[in-house]
A and B are shown apart, each in its own frame.
Chain A
Amino acid sequence: MRDWFGAQGWRPFPFQERCWDAWLEGRSGLLHSTTGTGKTYAAALGPVIDALAELSSAATAPLTLLWITPLRALADDTAQALEKPIQALGLPWTIETRSGDTPSTVRTRQGRLLPSVLVTTPESLTLQLSREDARERFGSLRAVVVDEWHELLGGKRGVQTELALARLRCWRRDLRIWGLSATLGNLAVAKAAMLGSSARRGLLIEGMAHKHYGIDSTLPTEIERFPWAGHLGLKLLPAVLTELERCRSALLFTNTRSQTEAWYQALLEARPGWAGEIALHHGSLDPDARRWVERNLRDGRLRAVVCTSSLDLGVDFSPVDRVFQVGSPKGVARLLQRAGRSGHQPGAVSRVTCVPTNAFELVEVAAARDALTAGRIEAREPVAEPLDVLAQHAVTIALGGGFRPEELLREVRRTHAFRDLSDDDWAWTLDFAATGGRTLRAYPEYRKLAQDPAGIYRVEDAKIARRHRMSIGTIVSDSSLHVQFMNGMRIGSVEEYFASRLKPGDCFLFAGRSLEVVRLRDMTLWVRKAAGKQGVVPRWMGGKMPLSSELSRAVRQKLDQARRGVYEGPEMQAVQPILELQRRWSALPGLAEVLVERVRTREGWHLYFYPFEGRLAHQGLAALLAFRMAQIRPITFSMAVNDYGFELLSPTPPPFDEALASGLFAAERLEADILSSLNAAEMARRQFREIARIAGLVFQGYPGAGKSARQLQASSGLIFDVFEKHDPGNLLLLQARRELLERQLDQARLLETLERIRKGRLVIVQPERPTPLGFPLLVERMRESLSSEKLADRVRRLQVTLEAAADEAP
C-alpha cells in the first residue's frame, strides 16, 4: 500500500496509517476531518490491504465492501476514486454503484450477484434488505464505510442507516464499520449513533486538523443604499464579477434554488460572453444536466458554477480556486464545508468570500469568523425513536426474509436511536405496521403483515410488497412535476404548488433559461423557449435553515460590542451606520437584554421581539406569546419570524402590558401553553405530513400512474383530523407533536431563551417607524396566524383573494 502511495508521489498521513492499522486489528470507528484531506483513502484502503494479504485466488471477489453515500451524485465519483488503487494493485475486485439512477441492465446483473465493492445510498441499501435472500447476498460482506455521516446524522435518513447497519452487524459479528464525517461539535454522539451498541469499542480518529481557512467579504461601497432586507442581493453583482474575472474556477454557493436561478441569470446578462463557461447546479435540475456540470467542473472547464447545497459534498473539484457564499452563512460548520470546496488538496488554504445580500449579513460574517477562531462548531443531534421509521423498517424486514418479533426488537435496540425503546411502544408499532392497530383490527382486508405457522412475520400480498418497496425512504418532498420541452427533452422538476399557478403562455426562469408554459398534462409541465420574455423565478418550498446556535450567540456578541461602540473588522465597520441608525431609532440589545419594539402602522399594531435564537425557536416563541396574549381577550395575531426575532401583528391593540403583568414569559404552565399554541396555529397538523408518508399512511402513487392513483389521495391533514377524532391515542400523533417541539421549534433553545428573558432585562421601546431590525420582518410574507376570535368574526374582517389556480376537478 505504501508502495502504491509512493508511486503516486504521495506519502500517507499519520492518520491514514492509523486507520489502516485499526482495520487490521478489526476495529470500527469514526474518522473526522474537514473536506479534501484524504479521508476516502484512509477508510477504503483498509479492506484493500486485507485483500492484498489474502491475494491467492484469482476469482472475482464476492461482496466485501459496502460504501454508503448520502448523495446519488456522489456514488459515481466515489466508485472512480476507489477504482484507481484497486486497478493499480491488480485486485480481482469489481466496483459498481447502486442507486435510483442505476440502469436496469446493471440492476439485473446485481440481482444475480453483487459486486465486490458496492457504492450505494441508504434508500437503495434498505431496498436491498427487503429482498427475500438479503442475508445470503450480504453473507460475504466484511466492511461498511458510511461516507459524509454528518449529512445523514441529523435526520431520519440517519436512523434508517442505523437500522440497516444493525441488521448487517447481526448477520456478521466481526463486521467493521467506519464512518467519515466533517468536524462536528458532538463527535462522540456521532460515533455512538453510527455504531450503536458496539460504539464503546469504536475509535474516534481525527484527520488533518490544521487546514487553513480564510473568511472575507465583498463589501458594499455605499452602505446607506444597501438593503435592510431581501435575499436576492444582486447589489454586489459588479464586485463579484470583478472577482470572478480573476479566478480560474469558482463556486458561488447560494441558500435557495430560486437564488441560484436569479444569480445565474444576472451573471449571464452582465457577461453574455461567458455563456458556456458558467453553469448552474441545484437539486431540481435533471440528473444528466447536473452530471454534465460536475464533469466539466472537475475537468476545469467552467469559470463559475452557481449552486446550492447540492454541491456541498463531492469527491474532488480540485480546479476550484475560489468559493463565494451568497447570503447568510447560517452556520460555522456549513461555511467551513463550503470553504473546503476550494483548495481541495490537503494542506492548501481554503478561502470563502461572503457576499451579503442585506446589511445584517455583514454582522453574521464577522460573527462566523469569531466563532471559527474560538473553535465553536455546531453539533448535530441524531433523531431519537422515530416510530414512523420503525414501522417502515418492520415491513421492510418482513419482506427481507421475515422476522420474529423478539429477535427484531433485540436487533433494533442495538441502534442508538432505539436503544431505550419501551416494550409498549414496540408492541404498538408492530401492531400498527401489521394490522393497522387497535382501530383497524376488525378489518381483515387491512393486513400488511401476517404471522406464518412458525410465528414469523411476513408480507403475503404481492401488491403490498410492491407498494412498500416504492415508498421506502424518509425523504419527503412536495409532489413535483417534470419540466419537459415539447421535443421530449427533460429539464428538471418544479413543485406542483408552483406549477398550479402557471397558465399556458406564462413565462418562468428555470435551469438558466426563460421558458414559456405550453400546457400542463399528466404530471408534466410542457414548455418551450420563451422568445425574449422575462419570467418569474420558481419558488421551492423546502425548510428554511435556521441560524445555528453558535452563530446566533456570536451575532449577539457582535451587537453587544456595537452597543458599546466597538466596531472591529471590515464588515462591522461597513455596517456601522446602519447599526447606529438602529440605536438612534430604537436600541441595540446587550448580551443580557432582549429588545422589544412596539410600532403602529396602517397595517395594525406590531410587536417586534429580538431574541436572536434562530427562526425555529422564534416560531415556537411567537406562537407561545401570541397564545398567551390571546387568552386575555379575543384577538388574531399574524406571525412573521426570521433568525433575529419575530413579529406579532394584530388588527386591534394587543394586551401586551396586561400580559407582561400576568406572566407572559413565566415558566408556569409552559408545556401546556406551548402545546395549546401549536394546536391553535395548526402546526402539529402540518408536521404530520412527513410522518404520514414514512409510516405508510398516505400513498404517493406509482410514478407515471397519474390519475389512476387519484382516488387514493387524501391529504395528510385530513388523515390527522380523522386520527385525532377516532384514534386519539395513536402514537404517530404524539410523535408529530414531539417532532414539532424538538426539531421544528427547537424547544431546547426556546426554553433557554425564556430563561434568558426572565433573568435578563426586557428593553421596550416605541419607535416611530419600523427599524432596520424590524423592517425585514415587516416585509416577510410567509406567515402563520393564531386567533382566539370567533371564526365568523374573523371572516367578516377578511376578503377573498383571487387564486391563480384554475378550477380543476377534484
Chain B
Amino acid sequence: MTIELAGERVELLAGRALWRPAASTLLIADPHWGKAATLRHANLPIPPGSTTDDLRRLSELLVSTRAERLVILGDLLHAKQGRHPETIAAVEAWRRNHAELTVALVRGNHDLRAGDPPATWRMECHDEPLRDGPFALRHVPGPEPGAYVLAGHLHPKARLWGPAGEVLKLHCFRIGPASAVLPAFSGLADGGLFQPRPDERVFVIAEDEVVEVPGVRRDRAGGG
C-alpha cells in the first residue's frame, strides 16, 4: 500500500514495516526481542522460536525491498533477562547475513532498562528524536515542530465492526496529519486498542495485504 507522507512516497508493508524507497530505508517498531527468554527466566515454560521467527520475517522484508538501511523505532530488547546467549547469537547470525546493512535504533522505554544492544550487532543508538530527511523518528509518539513523526510504542490494533455483528481485531498503521504510528513488529506482542482521531487514517494488516479501513463509526454503547 503506497501513500504519501511529508511529500515522500512510502509503502506500508503487511510484514509490519514501513518502507521508504527514496532513502532505501526500512522502518520497524517494537521488536521486543528476547521476550520469550524473559518469560522463561521467570519460569514460564514458553517454547523457543519466536525471536527466530521474527528474524526470518525481517530478513524476508530486507530481501524483498533490498533495503540498505534499517531503523528500529524503539523497544528492540524486551528486558535485561532477555539478553540470553541464544537470542544474542541468533541476532548475530542474522546480522552476518546482512553485513552490508546499516542499522539504527531509536531507544525506547524498554531499551532504557534492557540496555543498548551488544556491539556485535553493529547498531548505532540514538535518543529520540532522530531527524531523518523530512521525518523525526521517535519511540513514543509526540509532536516535533517542522517534521513528520514516525513512531511506535503503542502496538496499535484496530477493532473492526460489521453490520452482521462481526468483530475483528487487527494490527494496524495509524496515519495522522503530523505523525504516524507503526504496528509492533514482535510476534509476541498483543496490541492496544485505541480511539481513532477524526483526522487519522487507519490501515490494517489483513494477512498478506494492507487495507485502508473505509470509515470510522461510533461504537454501539458498551459493545461486546
Chain A residues close to B by CB (< 8 Å): 432, 436-437, 439-440, 443, 445-446, 448, 461, 463-464, 467, 501, 536, 539, 603-604, 636-638, 640, 649-651, 696-699, 711-712, 714-715, 717-719, 722-723, 725-727, 781-783, 785, 787, 790-792, 794-810
Q: A808 CA to B196 CA in the complex, in Å?
A: 13
7 nearest A-B pairs in the assembled complex, by CB-CB distance: A638-B165, A436-B45, A439-B47, A798-B160, A791-B206, A792-B206, A726-B49
A–B Cβ pairs within 8 angstroms, 8 of them: A445-B40, A446-B43, A467-B43, A696-B44, A697-B46, A698-B44, A725-B53, A807-B195
**Interface contact B214-A796, CB-CB below 8 Å:** yes
16 more contacts with CB within 8 A, not counting A463-B43, A798-B160, are: A440-B48, A446-B43, A714-B188, A717-B190, A722-B36, A783-B224, A795-B213, A796-B214, A798-B166, A799-B216, A800-B160, A800-B161, A801-B160, A805-B193, A805-B195, A806-B195
| Chain B residues numbered 180-207 whose CB sits less than 8 Å from any CB in chain A | 184, 187-190, 192-196, 202, 204, 206-207
B7 at the binding interface (Cβ < 8 Å): no
Contact across chains for A699 and B44 when beta carbons are under 8 A apart: yes
Q: Report the nearest B residue to A698, measured CB to CB.
A: B44
Set of chain A residues within 8 Å of B188, measured between Cβ atoms? 714, 718, 722
Contact A604 B216 (CB under 8 A): no
Residues 149-182 of B contacting A (Cβ, < 8 Å) = 153-155, 158-168, 170
- Residue numbers in A under 8 Å from B158 (CB-CB): 800
Say whether B79 faces chain A, with CB atoms less than 8 Å apart.
yes
- Docked-complex contact B160 and A714, CB < 8 angstroms: no
> Cβ of A808 and Cβ of B195 under 8 Å apart?
no
Q: In the complex, are the beta carbons of B164 and A801 less than 8 A apart? A: no
Give the chain B neighbours of A785 by CB distance below 8 A.
165-167
How far is it, in angstroms, between the C-alpha of A448 and the C-alpha of B42 when the chains are bound? 10
Residue in contact with B43 in the complex, picked from A437, A448, A799, CB distance below 8 Å: A448
Q: Chain B contact residues (Cβ within 8 angstroms of A): what range?
A: 35 or more
A801's partner among B43, B159, B165, B170 (CB-CB below 8 A) is B159
Using A792-B209, A803-B219, A810-B192 as known contacts, say yes or no to A440 and B45 having CB atoms under 8 A apart: yes
From residue B95, how far is it (CB to closest CB) to chain A in Å?
A: 23
Q: Within 8 Å CB of A810, what residues of B?
A: 153-155, 184, 189-190, 192
Segment 93-117 of B: residues with Cβ below 8 Å from A: 109-110
Partner of B194, one of A603, A719, A722, A805: A805
Q: Nearest-CB distance from A729 to chain B (Å)?
A: 11
Q: Are A798 and B42 in contact (CB under 8 A)?
A: no
A437 to B159, CA, bound (A): 36
A722 contact from B46, B193, B206, Cβ within 8 A:
B46
- Interfacial chain B residues near A697, Cβ < 8 Å: 44-46
Given the contacts A711-B79, A712-B42, A799 and B202 also touching, CB distance less than 8 Å: no
A781 to B220, CA, bound (A): 10
Of all chain A residues, the one with the shortest Cβ separation from B209 is A792
Contact B50 A638 (CB under 8 A): no
Q: B164 touching A638 by the CB < 8 A rule? A: yes
Tell me which residues across on chain A come within 8 A of B47, comparing CB atoms.
439-440, 722-723, 726-727
CA distance A647 to B215 in the complex (A): 27
CB-based contact B164/A445 at 8 Å:
no
Cα distance A603–B207 when bound, in Å?
27
CA distance A482 to B57 in the complex (A): 41
Q: What are the residues of chain B within 8 A of A443 when measuring CB–CB?
A: 40, 48
Q: Closest CB-CB distance, A128 to chain B, in whole Å?
A: 23
Asked if residues A800 and B215 are in contact (CB atoms below 8 Å), the reply is: yes
Minimal beta-carbon separation of A731 from chain B (angstroms): 13
| Alpha-carbon gap, A61 to B223, bound state (A) | 58
Distance A712 CA – B216 CA, assembled complex (angstroms): 34
Give every chain A residue within 8 A of B167 (Cβ-Cβ): 783, 785
B103 to chain A, nearest CB (A): 23
Q: Does B59 contact A (CB under 8 A)?
A: no
A87 vs chain B, min Cβ distance (A): 47
Is there an interface contact between B164 and A636, defined as CB atoms closer than 8 Å? yes
Whether A651 and B164, one on each chain, are in contact in the complex, defined by CB atoms closer than 8 angstroms, is: yes
Flag whether B123 is at the interface (Cβ < 8 A): no
What residues of B have a CB within 8 angstroms of the CB of A808 in the complex? 192
User: Smallest Cβ distance from A605 to chain B, in angstroms?
Assistant: 9
B41 within 8 A of A: yes
A446 is contacted by which of B45, B53, B217 (Cβ under 8 Å)? B45
Check B45–A800 contact: CB distance below 8 A.
Answer: no
Q: Which chain A residue lies CB-closest to B189?
A: A810
A712 touching B38, Cβ below 8 Å: yes
Would you call B163 and A651 a contact (CB within 8 A)? yes
In the complex with contacts A640-B165, A718-B188, A794-B206, A799-B160 CB distance below 8 A: yes
Residue in contact with A604 in the complex, picked from B163, B168, B170, CB distance below 8 Å: B163
Q: Is B211's beta carbon under 8 Å from chain A? A: yes
B39 at the A/B interface (Cβ < 8 Å)? yes
Q: Is B16 an interface residue (CB 8 A)?
A: no
Neighbouring A residues of B138 by C-beta, 8 Å: none
In the complex, what distance in Å separates the CA atom of A533 from the CA atom of B39? 45
Q: Of A637, A722, A785, A796, which is in contact with the most chain B CB atoms at under 10 Å from its CB?
A: A722
Q: Which residue of A lies closest to B153 (CB)?
A: A809
Q: Are B190 and A801 in contact (CB under 8 A)?
A: no
Expressed in whole angstroms, the Cα–Cα distance for A637 and B164 within the complex equals 8
Residues of B within 8 A of A712 (CB): 38-39, 42, 44
Q: Is B222 an interface residue (CB 8 A)?
A: yes
- CB contact under 8 A between A439 and B192, given known A604-B163, A795-B206, A801-B219: no
B83 contact set on A, CB distance < 8 A: none
C-alpha gap A463/B164 in the complex (Å): 49
* Distance (whole angstroms) from the CB of A352 to the closest CB of chain B: 31
Contact A800 B43 (CB under 8 A): no
Which B-chain residue is minimally distant from A537 (CB atoms)? B222
Across-interface contacts of B168 in A (CB, < 8 A): 791, 794-795, 798
Q: How far is the CA of A708 from the CA of B42 in the complex (A)?
A: 13
Q: Chain B residues near A719 (CB, 8 Å)?
A: 46
